[in-house]
Structure 1
Amino acid sequence: MDKINGYISAWAGANLSYAGRAELVKSVLQGVECFWLTILPIPAGVKAKIVQLCRNFLWSGSCNSHKTPLVSWKEATLSKEEGGLGIRDIKAWNKALISKTLWDIQAKKDTIWVQWVHQIYMRSTGFWEYKCKTGDSPLIKQIISLRDEIIVATHNKEEAVQLISQWTSNGKFHSKTTYDYFRPRRAKLAWTKMVWQSFIAPKHSIILWLGLKEKLLTKDKLQGVIEDMSCPLCRVEDETIDHLFFCCRIANEVCFWVYVEMTTIDTAMEQPKKITNVGGSKFQNSTSGFKRWGRRSPFIRYGVPMISLTVFGALGLGHLLQGSTQLKCAVKIFEGKSFV
């Protein structure tokens, strides 16, 4: 616990994006594949504390902050294809690591410790028939409990052996494959294909991910906290996720010139194939438009009410002007045009 806390705390002062924090959390949880987690079940209190540290750091940048998470930890631990961030579930990860010890015992691996276990606990019975006794160690009880869980899931011993055999190759145990078996699952979501693209910067992908989940703190979610609910770009309608990214007149003009036709979060989620077929570079340009979320501060601070070269730069779309005659013409047309 102290090591994990120290590792995360060392980065608490760094100005990391959500993507940077997510990667750091992943490295912490994946890095706990150490001797102790392989041979000891993690107490529930310790699991809860690890989750608390990682969750706080992910959403606030500090281990000690109790900022309300934008997305639940349960959702964050789903795979990216299922709508999560691919962060490992600590309970399933512990089971995956304990499974390595289970495999060693049932396979009678040639080690002193495995030989000792068979001599002390299983002298008169096999691993698959052994029943725990009151005085057995917590590790043995955990291994047998895990064995029984696998047998129930596969219906019999033979299929259980066949299952855990799939977790090894050439005599080497694969914790990643085992974790994939134990981790929580949900149905795969089509829209995730357009979020996690190799040509999209991770920090942009997470903003897009939060937007599609309608978790970004647009002004409509801050009623009672702030008075001005108007969109910082057009100053006409109230700011919502759909309005900011799709319905705002300034956003619509920008999206038109990069060949993206979407009107709401729902339509964006319903047609990922159509969007990705626009082409790699064009889709990259369109997703860069989501940087307007992070770049809307100048509009809030200075109240810029027109689309211009300055607006394109503030939206993070200035790079589009470098090689696009069409966009340059569009900007000249819109230069000085007020949308208020």
Structure 2
Amino acid sequence: MAGIRNYWMNIFMLPISAVHEIDRLCRSFLWGEKNNRSKFHCSSWSQVSLPKAMGGLGFKEGCLWNKVLLAKYLWALSSKQDVLWVKWIDGVYLKGKSIWDYHLKSDVSWYWRKICYLRESFFLARIWRLRLLMKEQVGFAKAVWSSITVPRHRFILWQAVVGHLLTRDNLARFHIEVGSVACPWVIWKNWLNGKPKSVMHRIYLSCLAASVYHIWCNRNMCYFSQVSYTPYSLVKMIKRTIKIRLQGRFSQKDLSKNCNLYDFVQLL
């Protein structure tokens, strides 16, 4: 859906109601929905909309992203690019003037009117770009979003790293009664800092993500259903998940070329 939205946002200024509805559907897909509202979550939409390198999920904030995408037309007109439609606009409307000095008339097409209205938003787009450049990149992005890791495990690991996983201490911050707020989470962020240096390093991080995911699921079973897996069963599930993932990501030929990878898979 986001891809379809971006395609039309490259062409038109979509109605605000449609943009807000698409954003609502994206939030419902991300967090789940109950009674036509997103389920409880700690992450704000502004953080989710940040690039992954800056600690977000890479979603785009609808209204602002629409203006940013259309601002490229203003840039093309401002720089007088050697494009047919720019030459046509310059000959029919601008008459050799700059787009910034043009005074909008009443007898112009609705599309040209929309582009002219974007001149104020063009500076907003530049501010948005500067805001991103000023924001520091996080050190865990490459480790959390490794392509070897199962997508669902990446999402849970991201929430754990940024401190937004729905653990008891986080729920207590919102005055939700959960009994004891003690949660057996350890600080292992230092393991995720920096870019993974090898395939085996990425696999180890994938094992970490799988461990966090399965322990999280087992913790929820303990709290809500009073049922728990044994440590042996948990380890077996984690090993099976990693083995299936690696066999799907690497062919037998790739495994035979990398002795360490082949031995690791055989041990699972």
Tell me whether 1:310 sits opposite 2:233 in the alignment.
yes
Tell me whether 1:41 sits opposite 2:4 in the alignment.
no
Contact between 2:10 and 2:70, CA under 8 Å: does it hold in 1?
yes
Partner of 1:9: none
Q: What CA distance in whole angstroms lies between the structure 2 residues aligned with 1:43 and 1:321? A: 45
The one-letter code of the counterpart of 2:209 is T
Please tell me the root mean square deviation across aligned C-alpha atoms, in Å.
4.1
Q: What CA distance in whole angstroms lies between the structure 1 residues aligned with 2:35 and 2:9? A: 22
Query: 3-state DSSP class of the match of 1:295?
Result: helix
Partner of 2:216: 293
Instruction: Rate the CA distance shift 1:288–1:92 in 2: closer, same or farther, 3 A.
Output: same
Q: What CA distance in whole angstroms lies between the structure 1 residues aligned with 2:54 and 2:61? A: 14
Q: CA deviation at 1:44?
A: 3.7
Summarize deviations over 1:234-291 as a string: whole Å, max 9, x none. Answer: xxxx542xx2x32xxxxxxxxxxxxxxxxx2xxx334534795683333322232112
Summarize deviations over 1:147-190 as a string: whole Å, max 9, x none. Answer: 46658998xxxxxxxxxxxxxxxxxxxxxxxxx95885532111
Instruction: Rate the CA distance shift 1:138–1:63 in 2: closer, same or farther, 3 A.
Output: farther
Partner of 1:16: none
Tell me whether 1:281 sits opposite 2:254 in the alignment.
no
Partner of 1:192: 141
Query: 3-state DSSP class of the match of 1:317?
Result: helix
Q: What CA distance in whole angstroms lies between the structure 2 residues aligned with 1:321 and 1:197? A: 14
Partner of 1:201: 150
Partner of 2:69: 97
Q: What CA distance in whole angstroms lies between the structure 2 residues aligned with 1:321 and 1:40? A: 44
Partner of 2:29: 57
Summarize deviations over 1:19-46 as a string: whole Å, max 9, x none. Answer: xxxxxxxxx1222244x53443234444
Q: What CA distance in whole angstroms lies between the structure 2 residues aligned with 1:91 and 1:32? A: 11
Q: CA deviation at 1:69?
A: 3.7
Contact between 1:78 and 1:85, CA under 8 Å: does it hold in 2?
yes
Q: CA deviation at 1:58?
A: 1.8
Q: What CA distance in whole angstroms lies between the structure 1 residues aligned with 2:43 and 2:242? A: 35
Identity %: 23
What does residue range 87-166 of structure 1 map to in structure 2 within 5 Å? 87-102=59-74, 105=77, 106-107=80-81, 109-111=83-85, 115=88, 117-118=89-90, 120-123=92-95, 125-133=97-105, 136=108, 139-147=111-119
Which consecutive unaligned segments of at least 5 residues does structure 1 have? 1-27, 155-179, 230-237, 247-263, 329-340
Query: 3-state DSSP class of the match of 1:209?
Result: helix
Contact between 2:149 and 2:203, CA under 8 Å: does it hold in 1?
no
Contact between 2:20 and 2:62, CA under 8 Å: does it hold in 1?
no
Which consecutive unaligned segments of at least 5 residues does structure 2 have? 244-262
Q: What CA distance in whole angstroms lies between the structure 2 residues aligned with 1:91 and 1:61? A: 22
Summarize deviations over 1:129-160 as a string: whole Å, max 9, x none. Answer: 32224565554344335446658998xxxxxx
Q: Taking structure 1 as the reference length, what is the TM-score of the superposition? A: 0.55
Q: CA deviation at 1:228?
A: 4.4
Count of matched residue pairs: 237
Partner of 2:4: 31
Tell me whether 1:73 sits opposite 2:22 in the alignment.
no
The one-letter code of the counterpart of 1:317 is I
Q: What CA distance in whole angstroms lies between the structure 1 residues aligned with 2:42 and 2:50? A: 15
Instruction: Rate the CA distance shift 1:212–1:136 in 2: closer, same or farther, 3 A.
Output: same
What does residue range 324-339 of structure 1 map to in structure 2 within 5 Å? none
Q: CA deviation at 1:81?
A: 0.3
The one-letter code of the counterpart of 1:288 is A
Q: Taking structure 2 as the reference length, what is the TM-score of the superposition? A: 0.67
